[in-house]
Chains A and B, each alone.
Chain A
Amino acid sequence: MSRAALLLALVALPALGEPTPQDVQKVMQHDFHARGQAGMDRVVQDGVQRVCTESHDRPPAELAKALQADQMKTIVYPQGSLLGDWQRGEAIAQSGRGLTWNDKPGDAAGGSCYNCHELSPQELSHGTIGPSLRGFGRSRGASAEVQRYVYGKIYNAKAYNLCSQMPRLGASGTLTPEQIKDLVALLLDPASPVNR
């Protein structure tokens, strides 16, 4: 079955009278305007956003599997070790900057990690939308496979869980490969406060 047919077959149609994601997109294209680095291309949904909207973040398993495999292909792994510098990683995790219409284009973005996750126990001001990552590397170690998983998850969370609320921080161009490596170190380096 083609991807389009699969989509049609598996995603429930909204009830009559309720606007579809396509209807909503049309209204947004009329009502929004580009500002700073935030262009109008951003109100156009991609397949992941469309399917997650239509299914209220509960996509049919078969479709989720197919789309996650597509997302996996977007991940570009750098050569060599994926373990950067945890101290730089901590600063990146703290920063909530980047990609908004009043962020200066070209300025370094942050990962907004603490907005949703607990990481270093010293930082009490952490959100709870995502799971706590305190002690993340302690049980998992820092093997090449674990590094690869963490790098991939930060680069494109939708490759692992299609309707995750976590941004695709690498695929969206928010973070550089170097920055993602620093975050991998924050999570996995035994010397990182996350693991001490």
Chain B
Amino acid sequence: MRLATLAALAACATLAQAQDTAREIQRYRQMIAEGSPAELFELEGETLWKKPQGPKNVSLERCDLGEGAGVLKGAYVHLPRYFKDADRVMDLEARLLHCMTTLQGRSRAEATRRVFGSADRPSEFESLSAYIAAQSRGVKIQPGMSHPKEKASYELGRALYFQRVGAWDFSCASCHGEEGKRIRMQELPVLYKPESARPVIATWPAYRVSTSQFITLQWRMNDCYRQMRTPEPTFASETTVALIHFLTATARGETYRGPGNKR
């Protein structure tokens, strides 16, 4: 009897502690949502967008992100989409890379030397993503879904989400497949369901507090595959674009409100 009471008390204490932890995390998230360091990356991105670079010494200001050359308003939320000039579906980062190699005349190798940055030195793609995504705030997420290559990209992304692969047999759904699950304390959105994908996609790319870095969806795909113990997916490849396409299409209709903040 006494033992049972003790056990019950201990269980209550643990539960209370866990609830406190969850409350603290919630409070912290609210706090960082109020004044976001993402704005600093947006400013840096604007400078980079307008800076002449590469053998042709031109800026990216004539880059067509799908809404016409140089049009930024609403461009991000309509990606990924099919581009006739490249005859493929591209997300923001793939399109930026395309503009760097065509408009600016830079080599792919040079432009992708450093696609993911560090706390002290963000990558060009990170700053540019912050700036461009911010010009879509308040616009509904609506990636391309009509061209046959857009449909194929979406289907590939969906199939990739469920492909079990790698040294540990994971698919995306191994972690993001069931409601209410966590890795350690991190809650895991079920990203093939619209209600879960919407708030997530509406706030990417984002500033990540724990590492003081600005992170993009290409980075997210890369680091998930790293943890899935696969080899490395190539930056802006068909695979990573298709996954981003599938996730974004699942979130369509949601109003974009990023760049956001992550834990």
Residues of A near any B CB (own CB < 8 A): 17-21, 23-25, 27-28, 30-35, 38-40, 42-43, 45, 48-49, 52-53, 56-57, 99-102, 114-116, 121, 124-129, 158, 163, 165, 167-168, 172-174
Contacts and interface: CB of A to CB of B under 8 A. Distances in A.
Interface of B: 10, 14, 17-18, 21, 155-156, 158-160, 162-171, 173-175, 177-178, 180-186, 188, 225-227, 229-234, 237-240, 242
B226 A125 contact: no
A32 B182 contact: no
Contact of A124 (B14, B158, B232): B14
Contact of B160 (A24, A49, A99): A24
A174 B168 CA distance: 9
Contacts of B188: 129
B162 to A, nearest CB: 6
A127 B169 contact: no
Contacts of A174: 167-168
B118 to A, nearest CB: 14
B21 A31 contact: no
A173 B163 CA distance: 21
Contacts of A17: 155
Contact of B182 (A28, A34, A129): A129
Listed from nearest, the 3 A-B pairs whose CB atoms lie closest are A167-B168, A31-B237, A31-B239
A31 B167 contact: no
Given A21-B163, A129-B175, A115 B229 contact: no
Given A49-B164, A100-B229, A101-B232, A128 B181 contact: yes
A19 B162 contact: no
A56 B172 CA distance: 12
Name the residue among B21, B156, B163 with the largest chain A CB count within 10 angstroms. B163
A45 to B, nearest CB: 6
Contact of B155 (A18, A167, A173): A18
Contacts of B21: 124-125
B238 A53 contact: no
Nearest to A116: B183
A99 B164 contact: no
Contacts of B242: 27
Contacts of B234: 31-33
A20 B160 CA distance: 10
A121 B14 contact: yes
Nearest to B164: A49
